[in-house]
Each structure stands twice: as C-alpha cells, then as structure tokens.
Amino acid sequence: MNDIERISTGIEELDKILKGGIPKGFVVAVTGEPGTGKTILCLHFIARGLRDGEPGIYVTTEESRESIIRQAEQFGWDFLEAMAQGKLIIIDALLREQRDEWSLSRLTIDELIGMIIKAKKTLGYGHARLVIDSMSAFWLDKPAMARKYAYQVKRSLYKWNLTILMTSQYAITTSDAFGFGIEHVADGIIRFRRFVRNGELRRFLIVEKMRQTEHDLRMWEIKIINGIGLKLVKPVEFRREDFALPRRVIERILRASEEKEKEF
C-alpha cells in the first residue's frame, strides 16, 4: 500500500483525504454540474506539476486557451510563462477557426489522442500531467459512446507516462452523467456537487472512488477563493431534515399502504 507513488493534486486538503495524492499513472474522472469547480481543480493539478518541474498538457474544449490562461492567472499561476519555456501545452479544441499548431481541427477521439501524443513527444521524456477538460464534448451527440471513448483514451495513452484528469458534466435537469461509462473506466472519481441552501449556492466535493487506496468517504464543502483557488472547508454533517421526507409525505405513504392492505 505504501509503495504506491502518488502525486499531489495541488490542493493540500484534497491530498490529505486521498492519503497522499493521486497514484501516479492513474486516470481520474472529475465530474459534476456546471460551475462547481472541475476546471479549477484541473488548473491546480497542472500548476502543481509545473511547480515540481513536471510538464503539463491541457486540452480545453469548452473554453478558449486564453480563457484558461486568464483563469489560472486569477489564482497566481503564470501559464504563459510555462508555455514560453516549453513546459506547458494547451490544446485548444474550441476555437477551431483560429487554427494553430495546437488546435484540434475536428472533435474526434482519434484526433485528440494523436494531438496528445504529439504534445507529449514535444515535452520530452519523463512523467507529465494531462488534463482533458472536458471529455463530454466528444460524445455530446452520441452519449452511448462515452464508455468506449474513455476506454480508448485510457488504452492509447497507457504507455506514455501520464497521470490524467478527465472532466465530464452532469445534465442539469436529471443529474444523470452524460458520461456514465467514464466512471467505470476511470481509476478514480472525484465528484463535485452543488446545492442552494437558504438562498446561497454551496459547493461540495466527494471522492467516490480511488482504486488501490484507502480514502476519505465524506462529502466536503468547498470554497473557491480569488487569488488562492479551491479550498476544502469541512466535511458535511447531515442533519435528519436534510434527507428525511417531510412528515406530511410519510403519513400519506403510510395511509396508502394501509388502504392497499385492506384490499386483500
């Protein structure tokens, strides 16, 4: 157990609940509703690698490269500098009309994998961190392909000495994963959630799975702080009223089942 090599997520408290970090070489799914912190966690992960001298590859499908650079800057990370030094490659899969060497011309899995391997070769030997933000973009019009695509990415990149975070979104209406399938293929799942309580948006994070390791099983409230980034605040203590049905509803259910019994 202790001989597993782990790498820091860039968030101290998250490393702690993962008993030291993400096992090197893992593919971890980062899932959750919009605006919950997935991209910001990915930025922490890349920035931490850069700090430790590990190169990074960031594939962005929902935001432009400039948007990613600006967001990183708000937390004190100079991605432009890292790019200039040849330590970071941001593959832009959004602005396909403004093409350069690191833009994806088509949103296909084969093209994605090809571009990632090209980036890894450019960065050179050794371990690198990879973020694919998000995978959902590749199966938007064909959600049934989620598992196959995630598996294809994992298998094709297996030998390239990468530790991978891949994000996927949840449908707002149903809370269903667009990418169910990615969760089974991934070695770990970090799940973000959000609730509005007393008129205030609150965000949470839970490690739903991390193979080969013990990890904290609680849901943690998180905060996103300008200039600092994502912080874990405290584990959630559920009160009974958070999950129990209202008395009125319980009484109605009991009455209905009594009626049913009378019928027999």
Ligand X SMILES: Nc1ncnc2c1ncn2[C@@H]1O[C@H](COP(=O)(O)OP(=O)(O)OP(=O)(O)O)[C@@H](O)[C@H]1O
Query: Footprint of ligand X on this chain (CB under 6 A)?
Result: 32, 34-40, 62, 74, 169, 224-226
232 forms beta bridges with: 222
Question: In angstroms, what is the minimal distance from the CB of 120 to ligand X?
Answer: 24
Contact of 128 with 115, CB cutoff 8 Å: no
When CB distances are held under 5 to 8 angstroms depending on the partner's kind, the choice from ligand X, Mg ion, none that residue 86 binds is none
36 binds, among Mg ion, ligand X, none (CB under 5 to 8 A by kind): ligand X
74 makes contact, choosing from ligand X, Mg ion, none, with CB < 5 to 8 Å by partner type, with ligand X
Specify the residue, 34 or 86, whose C-beta has the smaller distance to ligand X. Answer: 34
Minimum distance from residue 223 beta carbon to ligand X (Å): 9
Q: How far is the CB of 203 from ligand X (least distance, A)?
A: 8
Residue 257 beta carbon to ligand X: minimum distance, rounded to whole angstroms: 41
Between residues 73 and 242, which has the closer beta carbon with respect to Mg ion? 73
Looking at the Cβ atoms of 38 and 193, the one nearer to Mg ion is 38
* Using rule CB under 5 A, residue 39 touches Mg ion: yes
What b-and-e string marks burial along 38-57, b requiring 16 or more CB atoms within 10 Å of the CB? bbbbbbbbbbbbbeeebbbb
Rule CB under 5 A: which residues touch Mg ion? 38-39
